[in-house]
Amino acid sequence: MVEEREDDWRRDLEQANKDVSRDHPIHIGIVGLGLIGGSLARRLANAGCKVSAWNHRDHPYQDAQQAGITCTDTLEELVASNPEILILCNPLVAMPSVLQTIKPVLDPEKTTLCDVGSVKGLVRQQVHEAGLVDCYVGAHPMTGNEYSGWDSADPALFDNALWALTYGPHTEYRRVVQVAGMVTRSLFNRLIIIDDETHDRAAGMISHMPHVVSTALINMLVCDEYRNVDAALAAGSFRDMTRVSLTDPSRTRAMVEENRDNVVDLLKDMSHRLNDIADALAANDDAAISEFFAQGNPFRTYKTTQRKQFTGEDTQTMFSSLSLDDDWRATFLKSARRGEQIVRFTAPNHALAECRYAI
């Protein structure tokens, strides 16, 4: 390990880990006071952070200011106030124009750029095109609900939330630690640190592809001449599996297209699996049918164990200590792949990760 590097880390971590009790509170800038940005701004303000915010319409400003959030008239003004972390909570469609506006004003020496978008590869590409990639750390908090806008914002939305932070080849370690410090110390949240591709593929697997499958289920029903008989007989399984198809399909489409390549691969995989099990059933291929119905057992065990942990039947928690060096990317990724979640940094080059039951 290079000594000088460790000194850098120590300095950076001390800076990043200075919590609400330090001389001056950490200054966070929030772009967009919608459901996520609003909830985040309020939670950070509650935690004693200095929070500045800009929204494309000023209707939440009176409320926000009463919640201790400083609102700026322009986006430029927000960026020029040099927040230590500037978090883009605007819709993904507005990202290019937001980036063009902040580009000439943002001082990368003073500000780390961050966002909360649900796809990371696309955002990093846009940030790269705006020439801001060196000061950028991707972030995706696993929270939200079916509502939107400032009026639905609630600091409790981030209770117990998990964040995915993402890095690219140019990401600076100190900025990852800085954002992680905000997540663990100001928000009391947990995080995993992974590359954009791993994030986007996982998001495709557990959200985007399933949304398409859910949509295909209602499409099939609508196309069936006996659709009203189907609907009369529909009970729990169909209701659960089609719930997400009822959300605004244009929003689903946008989400899917933002992660197009992964979703295409995952849909092809799913299509093959369904075709294969159909063939196995038609041929009464006992081995293949048995394999299909047993393959998911590790996930079933994982869910059962998880439930026991939630209900307190299993109270033992193990932690893993991560030593970070030049290979910090691989160390973080391996930790996430073991099913661990980082709860805090204990030294410039050490993080503590909670071990969870892994699949």
- Please report, as residue ranges, which positions from 272 to 331 form the binding site for a second copy (by CB under 8 A): 272-275, 277-278, 281-282, 289, 292-300, 302-303
3-state secondary structure of 345: strand
Q: How far is the CB of 238 from a second copy (least distance, A)?
A: 4
Based on CB atoms, which residue is closest to a second copy, 22 or 334? 334
Which of residues 67, 94, 105, 244 is near a second copy by CB under 8 A?
A: 244
Under a CB-based contact definition with an 8 Å cutoff, are residues 87 and 28 in contact?
yes
Which of residues 336, 342, 343, 351 is near a second copy by CB under 8 A?
A: 336
Which of residues 1, 156, 206, 330 is near a second copy by CB under 8 A?
A: 206
Which of residues 47, 49, 113, 142 is near a second copy by CB under 8 A?
A: 142
Token look-up 């009369």 returns 232
Sign of the dihedral defined by the CA atoms of residues 44, 46, 48, 52, in that order: positive
Q: How far is the CB of 312 from a second copy (least distance, A)?
A: 20
Based on CB atoms, which residue is closest to a second copy, 31 or 176? 176
Closest among 94, 262, 276, 116 to 189, alpha carbons compared: 116
Residue 352 makes contact with a second copy by CB under 8 A: no
Closest among 20, 307, 14, 64 to 185, alpha carbons compared: 20
Based on CB atoms, which residue is closest to a second copy, 228 or 323? 228
Number of residues interacting with a second copy: please give it, by CB under 8 A: 93
Scan residues 121-140 and list those touching a second copy (CB under 8 A): 140
Which of residues 148, 198, 331, 346 is near a second copy by CB under 8 A?
A: 198
Based on CB atoms, which residue is closest to a second copy, 111 or 245? 245
Which of residues 85, 116, 157, 164 is near a second copy by CB under 8 A?
A: 164
Q: How far is the CB of 157 from a second copy (least distance, A)?
A: 12
**Burial of 284 from C-beta contacts in 10 A (0-12 / 13-18 / 19+):** exposed
Which of residues 39, 178, 186, 252 is near a second copy by CB under 8 A?
A: 252
Q: How far is the CB of 264 from a second copy (least distance, A)?
A: 5
**Cβ neighbours of residue 160 closer than 8 Å, sequence gap 6 or more:** 189, 190
Which of residues 67, 92, 202, 352 is near a second copy by CB under 8 A?
A: 202
Based on CB atoms, which residue is closest to a second copy, 56 or 356? 356
DSSP conformation class of 183: I
Under a CB-based contact definition with an 8 Å cutoff, are residues 209 and 263 in contact?
yes
Which of residues 67, 105, 217, 352 is near a second copy by CB under 8 A?
A: 217
* Buried/exposed code over 217-234 (b: 16+ C-beta within 10 A; e: otherwise): ebeebeeeeeeeeeeeee
Q: In one letter, which amino acid is 261?
A: D
Identify which range of 13-21, 129-137, 169-177, 252-260 contacts a second copy by CB under 8 A. Answer: 252-260
How many other CB atoms sit within 10 Å of the CB of residue 203? 22
**Cβ neighbours of residue 57 closer than 8 Å, sequence gap 6 or more:** none
Identify which range of 2-10, 79-87, 170-178, 211-219 contacts a second copy by CB under 8 A. Answer: 211-219
Based on CB atoms, which residue is closest to a second copy, 43 or 211? 211
Based on CB atoms, which residue is closest to a second copy, 98 or 187? 187
d(CA 60, CA 168): 34
d(CA 132, CA 125): 10
Under a CB-based contact definition with an 8 Å cutoff, are residues 112 and 137 in contact?
yes
Which of residues 75, 215, 345, 351 is near a second copy by CB under 8 A?
A: 215
d(CA 152, CA 155): 10
Q: In one letter, which amino acid is 133?
A: V
Residue 355 makes contact with a second copy by CB under 8 A: no
